[in-house]
Amino acid sequence: MFQNNPLLTQLKKNMHAKTPRVEGIVKSTERGFGFLEIDIQKSYFIPPKNMKKVMHGDKIIALLKIEKDREIVEPEKLIEPFLNRFVGKIEKKDNRLFIIPDYPFLKHLIICQPNKNCINTFQNGDWAIAQLTKHKLKGHHIFYAELTEKITQEDDPLIPWSVTLARHNLDRKEPLIEENDLVLKEYYDRKDLTNLDFITIDNINTKDIDDAIFVDEKSNGEISLTVAIADPTAYIEHGSKLDIIASNRIFTNYLPGFNIPMLPRKLSEDICSLNPNKRRPVVACHMTILNDGSISDKIQFFLAWIKSKSKLSYDHVSDWIEKCGTWIPPTKSIEKQILILHRLCLLRMKWRKINAVLFKDSVEYRFHLSECGNVIDVIIEKRRIAHKIIEESMIIANISAANFLSKNIGFGIYNVHTGFDLVNAENAVSFLRNYNLNFSAKEITTLKGFCNLRRVLNILSNNYIDSRIRRFQSFGDFSTTPGPHFALGFSEYATWTSPIRKYSDMINHRLLKSIIKKEKPIKPSEDIKLKISEQRRRNRMAERDVSDWLYTILLQQKKYQNKIFNAEITDIARSGIRARLIENGANVFIPASFIHPIREELNFNQEVGQVFINDIIHYKISDLIQVKLSDIRLETRSIIAKPDFHN
DSSP 386-418: HHHHHHHHHHHHHHHHHHHHHHHTS-S-EEEB-
Instruction: Tell how strand 110-114 and strand 144-152 pair up.
Output: parallel
319 belongs to the catalytic site:
no
Separation of alpha carbons 336 and 426, rounded Å: 50
Count of CA atoms in the C-beta half-sphere (13 A) of 190: 21
Torsion of CA 385, 570, 551, 55, to 10 degrees: -140
202 in active site: yes
Single out the catalytic residue among 190, 249, 468, 501: 501
How many other CB atoms are found less than 10 A from the CB of residue 293? 19
CA distance 2 to 6: 9
CA angle 57, 63, 67 (to 5 degrees): 105
Which candidate in 44, 103, 235, 314 is catalytic?
314
Give the whole-angstrom CA distance, residue 588 versus residue 564: 13
Q: Of the residues 58, 102, 181, 211, which is catalytic?
A: 211
458: how many CB neighbours lie within 10 A of its CB? 14
Task: Judge whether 254 counts as a catalytic residue.
Answer: no
Gap between the Cα atoms of 165 and 168, Å rounded: 5
Residues whose CB falls within 8 Å of the CB of residue 389, separated by 6 or more in sequence, listed in order: 201, 317, 341, 342, 344, 345
211 catalytic, yes or no? yes
Burial 186-217 (b: 16+ CB within 10 A, else e): eeeebeebeebbbbbbbeeeeebbbbbbbbee
Residue 452 CB-density burial (10 A; 0-12 exposed, 13-18 middle, 19+ buried): middle
Q: Which helix (H) or strand (E) holds 512?
A: helix 503-516
* Nearest-angstrom CA–CA distance, 418 and 410: 19
Our answer to whether residue 644 is catalytic in this structure is no
Q: Are 481 and 416 in contact (CB under 8 A)?
A: no
For residues 474 and 418, give the distance between their C-alpha atoms in angstroms, rounded to a whole number.
6
What is the maximum span of the chain, computed from C-alpha positions, in angstroms? 111
Q: Which of 58, 197, 208, 319 is catalytic?
A: 208
CA distance 232 to 240: 13
84 within 8 A of 145, measured Cβ to Cβ: no
Whether residue 529 contacts residue 411, with contact meaning beta carbons closer than 8 Å, is answered with no
Q: Which amino acid is at 207?
A: K
Is the dihedral angle over the CA atoms 322, 328, 332, 334 positive or is it negative?
negative
Helix (H, G, I), strand (E, B) or coil at 18: helix
Which residue in 566, 591, 579, 564 sits closest to 622, CA to CA?
579
Q: Is 503 a catalytic residue?
A: no
* Residue ranges with strand state E in 81-210: 85-93, 96-101, 110-114, 127-134, 144-152, 191-192, 199-202
Task: Please count the CA atoms within 13 angstroms of the CA of 198 that sit on its side-chain side.
Answer: 30
CB atoms within 10 A of CB 7: 8
- Can you tell me the distance from the alpha carbon of 224 to that of 351, in angstroms, rounded to the nearest whole number? 17
Which residue in 126, 197, 210, 505 is the catalytic one?
210
Cα 166 to the chain's mean position, in Å? Answer: 17
Q: Pick the catalytic residue from 102, 181, 202, 505.
A: 202
Active site residues: 202, 208, 210-211, 314, 501
